Amino acid sequence: MLETTVPEGPVIRIFRAMKLPVGDNFAMAGLIIYVIFALTAIFAPVLAPYEPTEILYTVDYDLASDLLPGQEGHILGTTSLGRDIFSQIVFGARAALLVGLTAAFMVAFIGTIVGLISGYYGGWVDTILMRLADVAFGIPFLPFVIVISAFLEPSIWNTVIAMALVLWRDTARVIRSQVLTLRSRGYVEAARVSGSSDFKIILRHIAPNIVPLSLLYGSIAIGWAILTEASISFLGFGDPNSISWGFMLQDAFASQALSRQAYHWFIPPGLAIIFVVSAGFFISRGYENLLFPKLGR
Amino acid sequence: MTTPLVEVENAQLHYRVGSAVSAMMGLPSVVKAVDGISFSLNKGESVGLLGESGCGKTSMGRLLVRLENVTGGSARFDGAEISQLKGRALRTFRSRSQMIFQNPFDAVNPRYTLAKTMAEPLANAGIPKSEWRDRIIKALELVRLADPEQYLDRFPHQLSGGQLQRVVMARALILEPDFVVADEPVSMLDVSVRAGVLNVFREVRDKLGLTAIYISHDLALVRYVCERTIVMYLGRIMEDGPTEAIVREPLHPYTQALVAAVPTPNADQSHEPLPIGRGAPDPRNPPSGCVFRDRCPKAFDRCAAEVPASKKVGTRHVACHLFDEAG
């Protein structure tokens, strides 16, 4: 099914492998959200009027706390500590992008390598790797991430590592099964008879066929990672030095923004999380249609 | 006397099937795809491996190009045990022993241009890049693809089955191997192009002095290509001898049934297939003694008790109790 696409050259082949699911409305919406999100993250210092952690004062030298949107020129108002909410949202995109991309990369990378090795070599290598995957499947995801983040020190990187340690399992399983079918294809056997090494066969004949699958699982992992980071931060195990959307929600929650009906404080980060995570799922849905056109949605 | 290029002695290829649980319950858990096969091939000799589907002929071929390793007995190439080859010896073996695959549409990477597919063995053998183009064109000319230049940048789906099978053949022959296993190379092709591909195969084999194994279920094709035929059934050799003799006067009851089953173009000619009944038995659970006995019209008591050894009958070897020495 994957082989029916017809490549013309090395550059085009990469584009084809990365082929963005254009034509699917949901996927396009997801892509647009991602682009806005990425631009926000990259140009955060330009877009944000203040430092996200800067404590602001009004012109009368009072603490600029709990300002409503529009007051004193704060687009989304300020927090109880006198910090600019809009600036926090903008900088929160940075944290989300960082976590999302690194976690997705690690998940796709580890999962692909494990799946390739496990599926191609089989035997005891396969047995060991797949039992490890079983163990990873048995680990409750959120508690594990919390424990790792708390056990090491709460930082974005430890959260990412904890996520990568668990989430590689799905990618590895799926890619392994794909490799199992590719391994017995005639051209793989022909390559072996003609003297190609295992490494060369994996790299040249098998890996190109599973790249779209890796990307699919990577794009799913982006959403998962952002959501998880938000959960961790909301529960208070996040990186205290970085402003993320989850941290903002936790801050709002701890300051009783809910009971004070400070909607301008907790609704924006909530919406930001919803948008970005659903964008990830829209894109992966588009990839899924690309990979399995027979689903016929 | 020359030493044989390929020597197979009591070779076995047993696959484990089923789980440990089913094995404990006493269910058969081993499929004997190849079970005690012995033959040897001299340089330049070509032999047809004949048998119905599932008889182990493809497994036998795969053993000889090291796509599988023997689980018992030995298979030697030029005096060296194939499954033990390592490093440089293995690389040399890979360039001397090649396989032509059954399905040409599957045997080439659909993402590769034909030039890239053809270059793979050259790169593996360490041939300098400057010679690649010439050698690829030479190999394509060898298999009689007209105007080979035009194919270099094409993709497999742009070729017909016959053309593609010639490319597969050219790729197998590009390093000028000594030994080729052809696994039903024309079974996926239209009847109209079979003759062309077969002729090319014969021609190239004679030109390069190849030692070849031609695997097929079709007696007529084997007769057209090989002077010698080995008839296999359920992982064992039933009869081994000159093709003409086997076709004209089959000795083993199974061979007799195979010869009788070849259709003739003359519809009026009386055509009595031998009554060997239903299909082959479950390979996990073959009959005791002679594996063919449950379908054999001439089976007698001894067939169930004893595995028939291979006996020399004239120019042939036959594994059947009918040919046991009297007394």
Contact present, A163 and A105 (Cβ < 8 Å)? no
Q: Which domains does chain B have, with CATH numbers?
A: 6-323 (3.40.50.300)
Q: What is the pLDDT of residues B233-263, one digit of tens each?
A: 988 999 999 999 998 889 998 998 888 887 7
Per-residue burial over A126-136, b if 16 or more Cβ lie within 10 Å, else e, is: beebbeebeeb
Residue B270 to residues B98, B102, B227, B259, B260, Cα–Cα distance (Å): 42, 33, 28, 14, 11
Q: What is the pLDDT of residues A184-209, one digit of tens each?
A: 888 999 999 988 889 999 998 998 88
Q: What is the pLDDT of residues A140-152, one digit of tens each?
A: 888 888 888 778 8
Residue A65 to residues A49, A57, A58, A230, B58, Cα–Cα distance (Å): 16, 8, 9, 24, 80
Q: What is the pLDDT of residues B309-325, one digit of tens each?
A: 888 888 899 998 888 76
Checking phi first, is residue A71 left (phi over 0); if not, alpha (psi -120 to 50) or beta?
beta
Q: What is the pLDDT of residues B102-145, one digit of tens each?
A: 999 999 998 889 999 999 999 998 889 999 999 999 999 998 88
The nearest CA of chain A is from the CA of B159 a distance in Å of 14
Q: What is the pLDDT of residues B280-305, one digit of tens each?
A: 777 778 888 888 888 888 888 888 88
Q: For chain B, how long is the longest CA-to-CA vector? A: 69
Average pLDDT over residues B209-238: 91
Joined together, the tokens standing for residue B109 give 């990477």
Coil, strand, or helix at residue A50?
coil
Residue A111 to residues A19, A175, B61, Cα–Cα distance (Å): 21, 8, 36
Coil, strand, or helix at residue A63?
strand
Greater model confidence, B255 or A12: B255
The Cα–Cα gap between A119 and A181 comes to 9
Joined together, the tokens standing for residue A86 give 């809009």
Q: What is the pLDDT of residues B136-181, one digit of tens each?
A: 999 999 988 888 888 899 999 889 888 999 999 999 999 999 999 9
For residue A287, give every residue at least 6 positions away whose Cβ sits within 8 Å of its Cβ, in sequence order, or none. A21, A27, A212, A215, A216, A219
What percentage of residues in chain B have a pLDDT greater than 70?
93
Query: Residue holding tokens 């002077």?
Result: B227
Please check the confidence at residue B191 and state whether its pLDDT lies above 90.
no
Interface check for A42 against chain B (CB to CB < 8 A): the answer is no
Cβ of B95 within 8 Å of Cβ of A195? The answer is yes
Q: Domain map of chain A by residue range?
A: 84-295
Which residue among A3, A7, A186 sits closest to B101, beta carbon to beta carbon? A186
Chain A residues near residue B168 by CB distance under 8 angstroms: 190
Cβ of B157 within 8 Å of Cβ of A196? The answer is no
* CATH (one of 1.10.3720.10, 3.30.70.600, 3.20.20.150, 3.30.2000.20) for A84-295: 1.10.3720.10
The Cα–Cα gap between A240 and A232 comes to 11
Residue B11 to residues A196, B33, B36, B115, Cα–Cα distance (Å): 26, 10, 5, 37
The Cα–Cα gap between B73 and B7 comes to 11
What percentage of residues in chain A have a pLDDT greater than 70?
89
Chain B residues near residue A194 by CB distance under 8 angstroms: 94, 98, 120-121, 124, 171-172
Joined together, the tokens standing for residue B232 give 């296999």
Interface test with B, best of A12, A127, A187, A206 (most B CBs within 10 A): A187
Please check the confidence at residue A174 and state whether its pLDDT lies above 50.
yes
Interface test with A, best of B65, B88, B106 (most A CBs within 10 A): B106
The Cα–Cα gap between B179 and B45 comes to 10
Element (H, E) at A81: none
Looking at residue A20, its pLDDT comes to 57
